[in-house]
Amino acid sequence: MAPIIASFGWRMAFHAMGILEIIFVAIYAFVLRPTHKKTIEARKTAVAAVPWRKILTNGMLWQFFLIVFGLSVITKGLDFWILPYLLQARHLNLAGISWLVPLPSIAAGLGAIASGWILTHYFTGRENLLLASLATTLFVFGMYQCPSLAAVITFEIATYFFKSVVFTGTFAFFAELVGKKEYGSSVRIVNFGGQLAGFVAPIVIGALVTAFKGSYSIAFLFLVGAAAVAFLSSLSLNTRKLAAQKLVVGGECK
């Protein structure tokens, strides 16, 4: 988006996104929707009642909810506000930083790909060490403290990479602990933490920057606090005990 805006203006960026959406709608309507419809019809006969009371009162579920919420606040907050920060606080022009914008997302993609391998080879039975990784918190704090632009970008790339490793590992570990029948309903609640963060983070950061007269320091401290929420929530998970019990949300294990 940034290179398109810098080269052709913001209107062309909207046109480009609109064209991509139309292409996606066409692909979905003619390729994906028929397959999806058949899958839904096949599953209708096998749908069982969801034990919502047991699911919603399970403490482990809300621990994962807070982890995903805290990590997503970082992602959504930076996605919405890093460009205004670089333009306003660091006084850069859009053309000059357009090539930097995709780097954190590329790092996040690499982190997601590497997450499964890291989880399997280094954290089996000790997943809380991965989920509670201090790296994300430390790199977000580094973005707040570092004086140079190069350091800001470097810490942002590292933040996205380690955040993605922890985020993907969280869902992978959650899938191991939850029964197949309850997984769909349970993971929706955990994922809602991420959606809620996408709504809350941009609004809160905008309000903080406005309240503190354009200072982004308080915004970065807010992101550090969100990382701390995810860190503390993951620390409270007794992963050895959970793995031994093979906990089933909504089942007999507690």
CATH number of the CATH domain containing 126: 1.20.1250.20
Q: Is residue 3 part of a domain?
A: yes
Same domain, 155 and 41: no
Q: How confident is the model at residue 128 (pLDDT cuts 50, 70, 90)?
A: low
State how far the Cα of 194 lies from the Cα of 191, in Å rounded to an integer. Answer: 5
Q: What per-residue confidence (pLDDT) applies to 10? A: 83
Q: How confident is the model at residue 248 (pLDDT cuts 50, 70, 90)?
A: very low
State how far the Cα of 58 lies from the Cα of 248, in Å rounded to an integer. Answer: 10
Q: Which two tokens stand for residue 210?
A: 């406005």
User: H helices of 57-148, where?
Assistant: 59-84, 94-97, 102-122, 127-131, 135-145
Same domain, 27 and 148: no
Q: Which residue, among 233, 253, 142, 137, has the nearest Cα to 190 in the 3D structure? A: 233
Q: Is residue 250 part of a domain?
A: no
Asked if residue 97 has pLDDT above 80, the reply is: no
Choice between 212 and 124, residue whose per-residue pLDDT is larger: 212
**Distances 2 to 22, 93, 190 between C-alpha atoms, Å:** 21, 11, 32
Q: What percent of the chain has pLDDT over 70?
A: 81
Count CA atoms closer than 13 A to 235's CA, side-chain side.
Answer: 8
Asked if residue 251 has pLDDT above 50, the reply is: no
Mean pLDDT of all residues belonging to the chain: 80
Q: Is residue 162 part of a domain?
A: yes
Same domain, 55 and 43: no
Name residue, tokens 């790199």: 139
**Residue at which a domain ends, from 32, 47, 62:** 47
Asked if residue 252 has pLDDT above 60, the reply is: no
Asked if residue 244 has pLDDT above 70, the reply is: no
Count CA atoms closer than 13 A to 192's CA, side-chain side.
Answer: 10
Choice between 201 and 34, residue whose per-residue pLDDT is larger: 201
Asked if residue 246 has pLDDT above 60, the reply is: no
Q: State whether residue 215 is helix, strand or coil.
A: coil
Same domain, 111 and 82: yes
Q: Is residue 114 part of a domain?
A: yes
Q: How many domains does the chain have?
A: 2
Name, of 20-29, 83-92, 137-146, 244-253, the range with top average pLDDT: 20-29
Residue-wise pLDDT for 138-151, tens only, equals 888 888 888 887 88
Q: What per-residue confidence (pLDDT) applies to 125? A: 60
Residue 135 in contact with residue 143, Cβ under 8 Å? no
Q: At what angle do helices 135-145 and 217-235 cross, to 10 degrees?
A: 170
Q: Is residue 253 part of a domain?
A: no
> Which of 99-108, 205-214, 216-225 comes out lowest in average pLDDT?
99-108
Q: What per-residue confidence (pLDDT) applies to 152? A: 86
pTM of the predicted model over 0.85: no
- What is Dmax (Cα atoms) for the chain? 60
Same domain, 59 and 166: yes
Residue-wise pLDDT for 51-87, tens only, equals 677 777 777 888 889 999 999 999 999 888 888 888 8
Q: Which residue, among 136, 122, 140, 144, has the nearest Cα to 67 in the 3D structure? A: 136
Same domain, 114 and 188: yes
Residue-wise pLDDT for 160-176, tens only, equals 998 888 888 888 888 87
Same domain, 23 and 131: no
The helix (H) or strand (E) run that includes residue 132 is none
Same domain, 108 and 182: yes
Choice between 136 and 179, residue whose per-residue pLDDT is larger: 136
Q: How large is the average pLDDT for residues 120-138?
A: 67
Q: What per-residue confidence (pLDDT) applies to 249? A: 46
Same domain, 55 and 39: no
Residue type, 156: E
**Residue at which a domain ends, from 47, 63, 83:** 47
Q: Which domain holds residue 4?
A: 1-47
Same domain, 186 and 158: yes
Asked if residue 47 has pLDDT above 60, the reply is: no
Same domain, 16 and 67: no
Same domain, 132 and 68: yes
Q: Which two tokens stand for residue 122?
A: 């280094």
Q: Is residue 254 part of a domain?
A: no
